[in-house]
Amino acid sequence: MFQVLQHHEHTARDWRGLQQISEWADQPITSLDEFTEAVFEILRIAKDRGALALKDQCAYNRTLAYDVVARADAEHIFNRLLNDMNAVLGWPEAKPLDDYLFHQYMRFAHELDFPVQIHTGHMAGSFNRVDKANVRKFVPVLELHRDVKFDLFHGNWPYMGDLLFVAKNYPNVALNLTWLYIIDPLYAQQLLERAVMTVPHSKIHAFGGDYTDIPERTLAHIKLARHVIAAALANLVDIGWLDEEQARSIAGQWFFDKASRFFALVNDELKS
């Protein structure tokens, strides 16, 4: 995956960050248009080198409510950085520029056929406001960018109902339960049971390790995930909503089949 967090939040809030983008793209930045062109070039190169998706976890630092902003308003803020190498944009003064750039990147995602992964719900650490990370604030983006596939992370904990509604109502949404089994395994089990009743199986990506440097933790996490998923499906079998064959089929789709197609990890012959 390729993380866009720094490109529309941090590096677009200070002069030195802009120069970093300039160096990565090997082209000068003297305007807002040149900045977005440079970011597009970086994303294109990432795609050519095997990146599978864009990831954004700005919910740690801002609301998921992205307004549609006039280019002139964003450009006015951006030019402050160009005019003063010591300028640093604060919050919420930077929100119009952040919002404008985010929508630009969603257009790039469509053009490059990149799925977009979005952090929703609970955040690591303490003293953060989870309400700003509720996926319900993200609905206008889902409606506006209907040709972009969104992979929503972490079960939107603790806002299960909002997540199920979004997954059911928006064809361009999938649910990724990465990290959720560690946050709240019982919530994860309840979410999966209700998802069977409300959401197409193709919209569930049951596991993501969410570890980058310690493979042993990923192994422990997947063991926990398998236990929770088995409990959810077994409960639905016990109460008569599924038979065992259906439960095994759903588990296979959740763990591998659907995510492989969502991220284009299978060839055209296997897709048919």
Here the CATH number for the domain that contains residue 71 is: 3.20.20.140
In a domain, 15, yes or no: yes
29 is in which domain, residue-wise?
Answer: 2-205
pLDDT of residue 199 exceeding 90, the answer is yes
**pLDDT, tens digit, 9 for 90 and up, residues 45-59:** 999 999 999 999 999
Q: Over 70: is that where the pLDDT of 85 sits?
A: yes
Q: Is 124 helix (H, G, I), strand (E, B) or coil?
A: coil
pLDDT higher for 4 or 51?
51
- The percent of residues in the chain predicted with pLDDT above 70, rounded, is 93
pLDDT digits (tens, 9 = 90+) for 169-194: 999 999 999 999 999 999 999 999 99
Give mean pLDDT, residues 228-256: 95
* 218 found inside a domain: no
CB 128 within 8 A of CB 153: no
Q: In three state form, how does the secondary structure of 7-32 look? A: HHHHCCCEHHHHHHHHHHHCCCCCCH
**Does this model's pTM top 0.85?**
yes
Q: Is residue 248 part of a domain?
A: no
Question: Do the domain assignments include residue 244?
Answer: no
**Inside any domain, residue 163:** yes
| Whether the Cβ atoms of residue 179 and residue 153 lie closer than 8 Å to each other | yes
Rounded mean pLDDT of 196-222?
86
Q: How many structural domains does the chain have?
A: 1
So what's the pLDDT on residue 117?
95
Share the mean pLDDT of the chain.
91
Please give the pLDDT value at position 149.
96
| Confidence class for position 209, pLDDT limits 50, 70, 90 | confident
- Asked whether residue 6 is domain-assigned, the answer is yes
Other C-beta atoms closer than 10 Å to the C-beta of 114 total 25
Residue 194 lies in a domain: yes
Q: Kindly tell me if the per-residue pLDDT of 272 is higher than 50.
A: no
> What tokens were used for 272?
């048919």
* Interatomic CA distance for residues 57 and 52, integer angstroms: 16
Residue 245 belongs to some domain of the structure:
no
